[in-house]
Amino acid sequence: MVKIIECPRDAMQGLKTFIPTETKAAYLNELLRVGFHTLDFGSFVSPKAIPQMRDTAEVLSQLDLSNTDTKLLAIVANRRGAESAIAFPEIDYLGYPFSISETFQLRNTNATIAESLERVQEIQELCVAHNKEMVIYISMGFGNPYGDPWNVEIAQRWVDELETMGITIFQLSDTIGVANPANIAYLFSSLIPAYPDLEIGAHFHTQPHNWEEKVKTAYENGCRRFDGAIKGFGGCPMAKDDLTGNMPTEKLLAFFEEAEVPTGVDRKLFLEAMQDAVEVFP
C-alpha cells in the first residue's frame, strides 16, 4: 500500500485571488471523506508572505473530523508558526520546508541553513511536547537553479543531522520540477536502504508529459509516500514564476490503480471532489 497525501494548501497558496474561508472549508470537508492518508490543509506563516493562508485557523474550526481517518498537516516556517499550530489538537503533523540549497532557504524562510536547523530543533521540541509529528520537506532535494552544490551525499548529510532530533518523516521535494528518472533513482535507492526506520516520501512538481516516469521510478526504488494536488494545481510561490505544477493526484491514483497497488482512496468520492475543485480554483 502507498500513502497518498493530498495538498490543497500547496494548490491554493500562490493564488492572488483570495478563496473565501467557507469555500476552502467546504472543499476540505469533501477531501476528508475521500480516504487520503493525510491532508496538507493550511499553514501558519506570515500573512504578508502567504496571504491566501491567513485564515487557516478559521478554516480548521469549520472542518468536520467526525467521520474520517485522514490526518491533518499544517506547514510552519518558524517557532511562532509552530506555537500557533500546536494549539490545535486536531492537527497531527507540522511540516517544515528545509532547503538543502542555501539560496532557496533564504528566499523561502528568510533563514540560512544553519538558522533553519535551529528552527527545526525548536519546532521538533514543541511537537514532542504536544504529541505531534514533524514532517521535513527536503526542498530543492533533486537539484536547484542557483548553482548551489547538490548530490546525494548532501541530502544524506542533512537527513543524518535531522534524524538525530527524532524526526522520522521526510519528503524529498522537487521544488522546481527538475527531478528525472536518473536523480530520482539515485536519491531513493541511496536513502531508503540507508534509513530503514525512516519514512522517505516524494513531493514532485511536474509537467504534463513527464509525471509518470517520476512516480514509476520513485515507486520502483522503494518510495511508498506521495504528495499530490488535484489537477496539479499550485506549486511554490517562493521558487520562480514559470514553476511547473504539483503532481496531479488523479495521475497518481491512475498509476497505482493500474499497478494494483492499494491507496485507501474511494474512487467515487475522489471523482466528486475533483469535479468540485474546478469551482474552487479560479
- The set of cell numbers assigned to 120 is 527545526
* Other residues' Cβ atoms within 10 Å of the Cβ of residue 189: 15
Helix count (H) and strand count (E) of the chain?
11, 9
| pTM, to two decimals | 0.94
Residue whose C-alpha cell reads 526506520 in the numeric block: 197
Question: SS3 of 138, please?
Answer: strand
Of 101, 230, 107, nearest to 174 by C-alpha is 101
How many domains, the chain?
1
Q: What angle do CA 160, 161, 167 make, to 5 degrees?
A: 85
- Owning domain of residue 116: 3-280
Of 152, 53, 150, 45, nearest to 104 by C-alpha is 150
pLDDT of residue 151: 85
pLDDT of residue 219: 98
pLDDT of residue 237: 47
pLDDT of residue 236: 52
* Other residues' Cβ atoms within 10 Å of the Cβ of residue 164: 8
Kindly give the confidence (pLDDT) of every residue in the chain, 282 residues in length, as a single tens digit, with 9 standing for 90 and above. Answer: 999 999 999 999 989 999 999 999 999 999 999 999 999 999 999 999 999 999 999 999 999 999 999 999 999 999 999 999 999 999 999 999 999 988 888 887 888 888 999 999 999 999 999 999 999 999 999 988 888 888 889 999 999 999 999 999 999 999 788 899 999 999 999 999 999 999 999 999 998 889 999 999 999 999 999 999 999 998 654 444 454 689 999 999 999 999 999 999 999 999 999 999 999 997
User: Which residues lie below 8 Å from residue 49, measured CB to CB, with a gap of 6+?
Assistant: 77
pLDDT of residue 57: 98
pLDDT of residue 104: 86
CATH number (domain holding residue 136): 3.20.20.70
**Cβ(78)–Cβ(119) under 8 Å?**
yes
* Other residues' Cβ atoms within 10 Å of the Cβ of residue 173: 25
